[in-house]
Structure 1
Amino acid sequence: MGILEGKKILVAGVLTEQSIAFSVARIAQEQGATVVLSNFGRALSLCQRIAKRLPQEAAVVELDVTNTEHLSTLADRLREHVDGLDGVVHSIGFAPQEAMGDGFTEVAWEHAATAFQVSTWSLASLTQACRPLFGDTASVVGLTFDATVAWPVYGWMGAAKAALESTSRYLARELGPEGVRVNLVAAGPLRTMAMKSIPGSSQFEEAWEGRAPLGWSVTDTEPAGKAVAALLSDWFPATTGEIVHVDGGFHAVGV
């Protein structure tokens, strides 16, 4: 019997088999969960294809977190596949190329605003959209890239991740009385579509190779996926507002 036996989980933002979100969906199914995936636009067809590569084909719903109609109808559309939700995985992030790289102070508000709306505000809006489906307890888990420091080339996505981490704490504070836990997993650099879109991201890989005490594989999403699955389970009943680092120990050591 798996640690997610009988649970219903939405994994938002699944795009490729190389993504953390795909690993989460696969592990969740292997641990007994019913999984629903989401994406939108051109990525929706990719998500539908990916859904067939899971141990059991998962249902897919369309969700653009910048579309208020998608958010307002999400609960009803999810009810076509599940009768409630025990967990939500927020694997959503985007910043225009203009918002990353050098020239942090030169970035126009419209580009920074996109990064914040898609990567930060969406954690709150997605949680709110799913709230009618939560029972006595639920777990919301998001993905971050350690925002306690400034990184090269990450630009306004780094600032959006810092805001995401703060947002998770505010959500934990507000939703805790309803039995809803909100936590984040901070994974090390992985060769996902998100990381590949960052100019100069090879710098992250080089840093991890030399500093992570446990070592680090930039192609292995399973450790992060397992951490998310654990937080979705009942094995962390009193943990909320937390950031779990899955980075080979990189965050804990200096040079």
Structure 2
Amino acid sequence: MPYSLSEIIVLFFTYAVIGWVWETIYCSIKDHHFAYRGFLFGPYCPVYGFAVTTILITTFRVSDNLILLFLVGFVVASIFEYVASLFLEKAFHMKLWDYSHLWGNLQGRVAPQISLFWAIGVVVLVRFIQPAVQRVINWEEAHTHGMLALMVVLVMGTDTILTIISVQHFHTTTKMWNERAEAYRERLRKRLESALPEEKPALAKRLDNWRAEMLDRRAELDLRLLNWNERRLVKSFPRLKVLDAKRFNEMKQDLLKHSK
């Protein structure tokens, strides 16, 4: 093993923070508004921490060979992104990215163009960024003797527990909106089918505008709005899909506007 356990933990945290800064800046510029990225509450993206530490360990023996470094980076990054997507889908019923529109994609989880970008990033990371980061970590290890790693475990472990609770609450909220939406649309459909001819145009219009009508009547229907973290997830991940809440996916942007 090229790194000690405490080094791996600090490397994980360092690149999780760097990944959060990168994604937040990039997505804020792209979307023209501040996007607080990351799945957890804190300013870090664990997926970057896991990905980079995995890449650093797997490419340690080929770091001097640019071609092998690129190829290993391509493969490892692709596998990691696929597994991360599958985990989010199975554990949280959520899909945060979807490459279905890209050529050669695999179930929308990975795509050659994206993996190529990550592979180039791996070369830059291992050859130019990691040496400087490692010097800082060597200094930190010599002075804290693993205490920073312990703090990282405590802080991020607590954050993970709180995030799981929050995401479960979010899933409950999405299912509630989804069930009420299905029931509301069904009531309108039944009224439309049995309505008098002169009543049908108005009811058809109401069925077309069911999202706006539900939101206007949310208090009457006993529907709660999204909390801060739920709004952040919807706003920061425009491609977010809740896999078992189709109607919620259709109205999430409208609901976001009303939840501000």
State the TM-score, normalizing by the size of structure 2. Answer: 0.21
Which structure has the larger Rg over C-alpha atoms?
Answer: 2
More helix by share: 2
State the TM-score, normalizing by the size of structure 1. Answer: 0.22
More strand by share: 1
